[in-house]
């Protein structure tokens, strides 16, 4: 019986329906003519991107754009801190990052018009403003995210998912019309824990490999659910099929298993990243890059400081920023920084005037974004906000420019056109101009 099964192609029906009714219009030609989206390896500057997502929207004042000349109610209670780069100051708590400012570029002049979390997340994560108004709590997706596009166009070595998001997906970090295959692989487990391992990527101890392959055969045999072949049908079974293949590859990939095994790192390295979940996730991200993963989002929430901003920063930021610095330095020491882009940002900046509760509210008119590696020149500041930090006055840049920069560095043409499953053409980024200073 077994041999008979091996020879047999999958038994389930596949409903092959054309879109005859649908494509009576002018799109049939467009569909036929459509080109496969591509990445270009020749002017690619980075093989991978680690995106540190500071969910909630970090204050630009208390990170990379201090305004010591502004009145107290705007500049706040932190001092500005000279960095290794002459003339460039960060805010008081950014001590480790200021010491390696020669490896960093800070863009201070990105602004947009989406002042709530749902919309701001979407704009920065995808480069496209939400199509219709969305609320603060919204988790919306109208366009593929940076990570999903990178996953599709860059891929990863056999068996390893091309896009990770740790410990959770960011709100708009999904694939949208690219399909479930390019959704992030989420590792929610805490790599700082002694018992950390990525769950379910190894066979249960009781199941020998031979028995497992019998089971695969058997599953093929019993799986008769008809597939709806056309992507426009939105069949969830199509996603399941993708995931089943990905899952099989993952459990049979020694490279993936090794990348997940953070316990192989010496204690000294683990200490340097910080013995806390974010620190160890950053280390795991470095291991994933080394294994060939092109895009990793490190989601680190808790930046929505509507109240007690300064106390909360003192609790949160020293750990956070020393981990970011450790990551960049370690990548550099391993010779990986040159080909690994690290960016850190949130959805927007924060209001100039400190509110009555000692916090700052949402402010999309100005934000700072940190860049390092992947051919980014160090010791650089791009753009400037006005003397009180309200809005950019030099090199006014948009989320589109940010996203285009990341794409360009990864060798992805941000000006290319992608097609939805229905065949609708969609620009990857509406303004495909990267930030020239960062492209060196």
| 82-111 positions binding another protein, by CB under 8 A | none
Cis peptide before 401 (omega within 30 of 0): no
202 near another protein, judged by CB under 8 A:
yes
113 near another protein, judged by CB under 8 A:
yes
| 341-370 positions binding another protein, by CB under 8 A | 365
* Helix pair angle (277-290, 309-333), 10° resolution: 30
Q: Are 146 and 49 in contact (CB under 8 A)?
A: yes
Q: Are 55 and 300 in contact (CB under 8 A)?
A: yes
Q: How far is the CB of 349 from another protein (least distance, A)?
A: 13
Number of residues located near another protein, criterion CB under 8 A: 72
Closer of 200 and 314 to another protein (Cβ): 200
Please state, in angstroms and rounded to a whole number, the distance separating the CA atoms of residues 438 and 381.
Answer: 10
Q: Of these, 79, 102, 247, 314, which contacts another protein (CB under 8 A)?
A: 247
157 near another protein, judged by CB under 8 A:
no
240 near another protein, judged by CB under 8 A:
yes
In terms of phi and psi (left: phi > 0; alpha: psi -120 to 50; beta: otherwise), the region of 73 is: alpha
Please state, in angstroms and rounded to a whole number, the distance separating the CA atoms of residues 438 and 377.
Answer: 6
Q: Of these, 6, 14, 218, 417, which contacts another protein (CB under 8 A)?
A: 218
Q: Of these, 180, 336, 384, 439, which contacts another protein (CB under 8 A)?
A: 180
Closer of 130 and 411 to another protein (Cβ): 130
Q: How far is the CB of 186 from another protein (least distance, A)?
A: 6
> Which listed range, 47-55, 57-65, 101-109, 135-143, lies at the site for another protein (CB under 8 A)?
135-143
| 270-329 positions binding another protein, by CB under 8 A | none
Q: Of these, 34, 84, 96, 243, which contacts another protein (CB under 8 A)?
A: 243
Closer of 155 and 377 to another protein (Cβ): 155
Helices and strands (DSSP H and E) totals, the chain: 14, 18
Q: Which residues contact 343 (CB under 8 A, 6 or more apart)?
A: 49, 50, 51, 52, 369, 370, 371, 372, 406
Phi, psi dihedrals of residue 314, rounded to the nearest 5°:
-65, -30
CA 179 vs CA 37, 265, 376: distances in Å: 14, 35, 31
234 near another protein, judged by CB under 8 A:
yes
Closer of 384 and 391 to another protein (Cβ): 391
> Which listed range, 44-52, 65-73, 183-191, 279-287, lies at the site for another protein (CB under 8 A)?
183-191
Q: Where are the alpha helices (DSSP H) in 155-264?
A: 209-222, 236-251, 254-260
Please state, in angstroms and rounded to a whole number, the distance separating the CA atoms of residues 83 and 99.
Answer: 6
- Strands, E, within 301-375: which ranges? 340-345, 349-350, 362-363, 367-372
Q: Of these, 228, 269, 290, 336, which contacts another protein (CB under 8 A)?
A: 228
Closer of 333 and 417 to another protein (Cβ): 417
37 near another protein, judged by CB under 8 A:
no
Q: How far is the CB of 276 from another protein (least distance, A)?
A: 19
Q: How far is the CB of 258 from another protein (least distance, A)?
A: 17
135 near another protein, judged by CB under 8 A:
yes
> Which listed range, 11-19, 86-94, 326-334, 341-349, lies at the site for another protein (CB under 8 A)?
11-19
197 near another protein, judged by CB under 8 A:
no
Q: How far is the CB of 424 from another protein (least distance, A)?
A: 5
201 near another protein, judged by CB under 8 A:
yes
Closer of 74 and 93 to another protein (Cβ): 74
* One-character DSSP codes across 107-169: EEEE--S--SHHHHHHHHHHSS--SS---TT----SS--HHHHHHHHH--STTS-SEEEESS-
Q: How far is the CB of 285 from another protein (least distance, A)?
A: 18
53 near another protein, judged by CB under 8 A:
no
Q: Of these, 9, 24, 33, 72, which contacts another protein (CB under 8 A)?
A: 24
Q: Are 341 and 46 in contact (CB under 8 A)?
A: yes
Residues paired with residue 382 on neighbouring β-strands, in sequence order:
107
| β-bridge pairing 48-54 and 340-345 | parallel
222 near another protein, judged by CB under 8 A:
yes
Phi, psi dihedrals of residue 426, rounded to the nearest 5°:
-140, 130
| 379-438 positions binding another protein, by CB under 8 A | 390, 422-424, 426
Two structure tokens written together for 31: 């569909």
């Amino acid at each position: 019986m077994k041999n008979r099964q091996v020879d047999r192609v999958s038994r389930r029906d596949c409903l092959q329906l054309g879109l005859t009714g649908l494509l009576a219009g002018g799109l049939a030609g467009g569909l036929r003519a459509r080109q496969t989206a591509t990445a270009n390896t020749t002017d690619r500057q980075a093989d991978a991107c680690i995106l540190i997502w500071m969910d909630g929207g970090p204050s630009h004042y208390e990170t990379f754009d201090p305004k010591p000349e502004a009145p107290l109610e705007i500049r706040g209670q932190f001092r500005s801190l000279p960095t290794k780069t002459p003339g460039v100051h960060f805010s008081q708590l950014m001590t480790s990052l200021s010491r390696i400012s020669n490896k960093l570029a800070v863009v201070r002049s990105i602004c947009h018009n989406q002042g709530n979390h749902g919309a701001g997340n979407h704009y920065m994560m995808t480069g496209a403003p939400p199509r219709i108004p969305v609320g603060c709590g919204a988790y919306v997706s109208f366009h593929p995210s940076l990570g999903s596009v990178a996953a599709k166009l860059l891929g990863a070595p056999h068996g390893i998912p091309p896009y990770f998001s740790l410990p959770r997906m960011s709100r708009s970090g999904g694939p949208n019309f690219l399909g479930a295959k390019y959704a992030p692989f989420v590792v929610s487990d805490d790599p700082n824990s002694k018992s950390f391992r990525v769950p379910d990527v190894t066979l249960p101890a009781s199941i020998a490999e031979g028995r497992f392959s019998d089971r695969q055969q058997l599953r093929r045999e019993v799986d008769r659910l008809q597939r709806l072949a056309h992507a426009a049908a939105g069949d969830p079974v199509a996603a399941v099929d993708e995931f089943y293949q990905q899952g099989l590859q993952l459990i049979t990939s020694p490279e993936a298993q090794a990348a997940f095994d953070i316990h192989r790192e010496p204690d000294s390295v683990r200490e340097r990243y910080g013995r806390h979940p974010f620190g160890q996730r950053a280390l795991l991200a470095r291991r994933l890059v080394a294994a060939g993963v092109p895009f990793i989002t490190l989601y680190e929430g808790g930046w929505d400081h509507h109240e007690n901003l300064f106390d909360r920063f003192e609790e949160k930021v020293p750990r956070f920023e020393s981990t970011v610095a450790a990551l960049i330095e370690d990548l550099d020491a391993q010779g990986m920084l040159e080909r690994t882009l690290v960016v850190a940002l949130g959805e927007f900046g924060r209001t100039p005037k400190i509110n009555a509760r000692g916090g700052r509210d949402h402010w999309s008119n100005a934000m700072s974004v940190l860049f390092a590696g992947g051919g980014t020149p160090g010791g650089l500041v791009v753009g400037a906000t006005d003397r009180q930090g309200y809005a950019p006055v030099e090199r006014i840049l948009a989320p589109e420019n940010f996203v285009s920069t990341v794409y360009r560095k990864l060798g992805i043409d941000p000006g290319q056109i992608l097609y939805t499953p229905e065949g609708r053409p969609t620009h990857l980024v509406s303004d495909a101009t990267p930030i020239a200073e960062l492209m060196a």
